[in-house]
Structure 1
Amino acid sequence: MKATDPDRLAALLDAVSGCLDDPRLSGGDLARRAHLSRFHFDRLAAAALGEPPGAFRRRLLLERAAYSLATTDRPVTTIAFDAGYGSLEAFSRAFYRAFGGPPSRHRLRRDTRFRIACDSGIHFHPPGGIRLPATEGDPMTVLNDMIEHHVWTVGELLAKAQPLTPKVLDETFPYNVDYGSDETSIRELLAQLVFSCERWTAAMEGGAAPDETENSVSALRERYAAAGARWSRSVTSALADGRSGETFIDALCEPPRTFTYGGAVTHVLTYGALHRSLAIGAMREAGVSELPSSDPIHWADRDKD
């Protein structure tokens, strides 16, 4: 896909994907939906997609038609009309040019291949959207984002817990996991999230065991201001240096045990996700509003809102 302004490309794609069910719309209609002049809309499409907007939409509709032929029993004539063709004959000709065979053969074979070759790599995505090709990036980006999301979310939860009374913080509820006690509380979950970063950073760096004696929310926030950033730096450095499979002896265990850096990271993130979710649920029940999401997908989309 050719480089272009991401916001303008998004406007173009939104305009096209939002009107796939109305193939009678003209190019001018699409431009107005994208809040662009027809001239700029056509120029943007040519630069970003390598094909005029009308051809781009016809291709997406043909791809959708091919998918529908293979996965539904809808009449071929209905599929043809939904793809913007005024007759079955016109649809069949266009389909043959794109897929090398008639619609009837595609249906008979239940052929689920529906993408038509194009320069942009942008295709119809079932059931009714658009799929964009992946952009080049660091393979570690996903894991780094999970680490950053975890550190940020825990910090937000600690801030949100600051006004809660001791009664709310210490009220217990079931804790059904594969280790530990059968009950927990908001305070215990937050303390565990802080301690986990402290404890595993100390283990990986060969430091002393963290002091857990003070677990007021203010104290947890103060501890986490240092611990969260330190854990993030430690693990991202190890991963960036290709040391995820490197082992270390955890002298804080009784008896000492051997772990890998990658295993330690996934442990913190896995149980961290559980503890975050439980804390968010309990704090929501306690009436706390505007809580962060424990799901990284919402955090990743935060700049799009």
Structure 2
Amino acid sequence: MTNGRDRLRELLDAVLDERNTTLTDMASGVYASPFHFARQVSKGTGEAPVAMRRRVLLERAAWQLSTGAAVTEVAWAAGYDSVEGFSRAYSRAFGHAPSATPRRPATRWLPAVNGIHFHPPMSLWVESEPKGRSDMDPTTLLVHHDLDDTRALLDLAKGLDDTAYRRKRGNGTALAWDGPDDSLATVLDHLIWAKEVWLASIEGADQPPHGPDDTATLARRLDEVAPRWLDAVRAIDRRGGWNDTLIDALCEPPESFVLGSVLAHVLTYSAHRRQLAWQWLRAENPAAADEYGDPIMWLRRRGNA
């Protein structure tokens, strides 16, 4: 029985109940088998329940740390058996150690295709738009797919030796100021560098350092820039700022750009580069033989039709 309550809301309550630390606990709270519970949550949100709980608790941990809570207390509250395990998970998610969390009272959200996030002090925030924006809005899907697809490419590229990773495969140049997109190393680097540079412009920060392009470093760079990039996109979207003008002081001389065109620019060239990388990886790695970076397949793997 649902007692008139929204069934998906009941499932989400079970996922995040402090007492429900396992999938079996979650399912028993709503009188379902673990299999059917996991299937219902995945179908309704596009995210597995255990993964959602882990992500939302890490988001809560970020907020708690930003208010001055001790790392040890936050680790236990997030369900970790050790501070070391919590620190590793937190660093992978946010790109910095728990102790380096900025002291600000804002929630730090991690990438989530369903728009479900922790909202302080003890509730959820489900992103939506007054005009109908949802997690199925094409722009929202493209932003999230771009980041996830880049992670998938990096994971496969890690299996290549350095010769294959840096082999020159063409003379193409997507954007003259970035240089040639002629190897997996340069293409993957440009995918991440574009977000680092544009994010600095949006935030009014200095030119960021251009880090190394080995796969391990690129993965760390992506982990660091992805949540900040999503935060920036969400903030612009919430205030209806896509028609605002950005004066980019990082250009010589400074140039002005409409924010909506900046996101369209990043997504356009990112899609081009990701398709190049998939083409080259299919020739190198058998695990990529049937992969094309298709957002339809990406959604299906997450439980969306």
TM, length-normalised to structure 1: 0.52
Change (3 A) 1:277 1:265: same
Q: Does 1:160 align with 2:159?
A: no
Gaps in structure 2 of 5+ consecutive residues:
1-6, 8-129
Query: 1:169 corresponds to which residue?
Result: 165
2: CA distance, partners of 1:237 / 1:279: 30
Task: Determine helix, strand or coil for the equivalent of 1:301.
Answer: helix
Post-superposition CA distance 1:37-95 (Å, at most 9, x none):
xxxxxxxxxxxxxxxxxxxxxxxxxxxxxxxxxxxxxxxxxxxxxxxxxxxxxxxxxxx
2: CA distance, partners of 1:158 / 1:229: 17
Query: 1:210 corresponds to which residue?
Result: 208
2: CA distance, partners of 1:183 / 1:177: 5
Task: Compute the displacement of 1:240 (Å).
Answer: 2.5
Query: 2:298 corresponds to which residue?
Result: 299
Query: 2:133 corresponds to which residue?
Result: 139
Contact 2:174–2:180 (CA<8 Å) still a contact in 1? no
1:28-107 aligned within 5 A: none
Task: Compute the displacement of 1:253 (Å).
Answer: 1.1
Post-superposition CA distance 1:275-302 (Å, at most 9, x none):
0000011111112414754222222332
Contact 1:235–1:261 (CA<8 Å) still a contact in 2? no
Task: Determine helix, strand or coil for the equivalent of 1:259.
Answer: strand
Task: Compute the displacement of 1:169 (Å).
Answer: 0.9
Task: Determine helix, strand or coil for the equivalent of 1:242.
Answer: coil
Amino acid at match of 1:267: H
Contact 1:195–1:210 (CA<8 Å) still a contact in 2? no
Task: Compute the displacement of 1:143 (Å).
Answer: 1.0
The alignment's C-alpha RMSD in Å is: 2.6
Amino acid at match of 2:210: E
Query: 2:230 corresponds to which residue?
Result: 232
1: CA distance, partners of 2:153 / 2:186: 13
Gaps in structure 1 of 5+ consecutive residues:
6-135
Count the aligned residue pairs: 173
Matched-pair identity in %: 27
Contact 1:151–1:228 (CA<8 Å) still a contact in 2? yes
Contact 2:180–2:186 (CA<8 Å) still a contact in 1? no
2: CA distance, partners of 1:175 / 1:137: 44
Change (3 A) 1:177 1:297: farther
Change (3 A) 1:278 1:169: same
Amino acid at match of 2:300: D
Task: Compute the displacement of 1:178 (Å).
Answer: 5.4
Give the counterpart of 1:286 among 284, 287, 301.
284
Task: Determine helix, strand or coil for the equivalent of 2:240.
Answer: coil
Contact 1:203–1:251 (CA<8 Å) still a contact in 2? yes
Task: Compute the displacement of 1:176 (Å).
Answer: 3.7
1: CA distance, partners of 2:304 / 2:131: 19
1: CA distance, partners of 2:237 / 2:304: 28
Query: 1:102 corresponds to which residue?
Result: none
* Bigger relative CO (Cα 8 Å, ≥ 6 apart): 2
1: CA distance, partners of 2:263 / 2:166: 28
Post-superposition CA distance 1:129-163 (Å, at most 9, x none):
xxxxxxx9833622111101111111121122112
Change (3 A) 1:209 1:182: closer
Contact 1:151–1:232 (CA<8 Å) still a contact in 2? no
2: CA distance, partners of 1:157 / 1:178: 18
Query: 1:260 corresponds to which residue?
Result: 258
Give the counterpart of 2:147 among 151, 158, 181.
151
Query: 1:223 corresponds to which residue?
Result: 221
Amino acid at match of 1:171: R
